[in-house]
Amino acid sequence: MTWVPTDDGVSLYAHQSGPAGGQTVLLLHGWPLSHRMFDRQLALLPEAGIRCVAPDLRGFGRSDAPADGYGSDRLADDLRRIVDALGLERFALAAFSSAAATAVRYMSRHADSGVSGLLLISPAAPSLLQPDAPTADEASGRLERLIRHARLDRPQMAAEFARQLFYRYHSPEYMSWFSGLAMDSPLSATLGLARAMQQERTSAEELTRIAVPTAVFYGAHDRVVTPEAAQGLAAAIPGASAVRFAKSGHGLFQDEADRFQQELEQFVRGLP
């Protein structure tokens, strides 16, 4: 187990698997999950010789849950602490859903320190969308409904949220396990990160300054963020490619698990 202290006294958990040498991918989970959403990748990528690092963001999984500090600046600084503590020098940064905003902020706030390639998976944070875009208002409104639901009945919210993420059928056992990931953190952290996502925006300059190979993976049947929004985000990042998963919703890592694994491995191996 690896624990990394921050400058404000929070202890962050970072799971590691795979060989110490060679290529590395740093996996960031989305709201309101934990590093366990990447269980498949943490097992299979090392078999391909790729090292995996998957932290729990503050407030989630095994990491400490402070009363505040869930904005993108703070989360990006937390990520820098992990990178420095583990001595990561060249790695692919792969971020799912809401964590895409943290990844983009890391790239600008810390001058893309150590990142050799950026992968945004189903990027859904309202902060990544243009403030005047209808999709930004829709995303913020969806978050507000989730916040109200979580305050009233978080187990039901987690189960319904899990159902919204996927396009294809998955076993009741898997769905129960997945929705349970959203229950592994305190309600205060779940609400804190959601509120922070509502209040922030990523500047266009942050996107245009990204200078590493970048890809955006998106599901053609995503009900959390439209495919058009994902394509628009890819178009705003110089040289970024948009990779469409035709049989997936938001949770393309499970809807097309084998293809996702192949595309992820291919992206990491293709980096300089």
Task: Indicate the helix (H) or strand (E) that contains 52.
Answer: strand 51-55
Helix (H) or strand (E) holding 15: strand 11-17
For residue 97, indicate whether it is catalytic. Answer: yes
Taking Cα atoms as reference points, which of 128, 164, 119, 121 lies closest to residue 145? 164
Q: How far apart are CA 44 and CA 67, in angstroms?
A: 35
Per the annotation, the verdict on 176 as an active-site residue is no
DSSP string, 59-91: TSTTS---SS--SHHHHHHHHHHHHHHHT--SE
First to last CA, the chain: 29
Q: What is the Cα–Cα distance from 67 to 107, expressed in whole angstroms?
A: 26
CB 113, CB 81: distance < 8 Å: no
Long-range Cβ pairs for the range 128-137 (8 Å, 24+): 128/100, 128/101, 128/104, 128/202, 128/233, 129/229, 129/232, 129/233, 130/204, 131/201, 133/229, 135/225, 135/226, 135/228, 135/229
Measured CA to CA, the distance from residue 216 to residue 219 in angstroms comes to 10
| Catalytically annotated residue among 15, 35, 170, 250 | 250
39 is catalytic: no
| Of 63, 72, 97, 248, catalytic | 97
Catalytic residue positions, numbered: 97, 222, 250
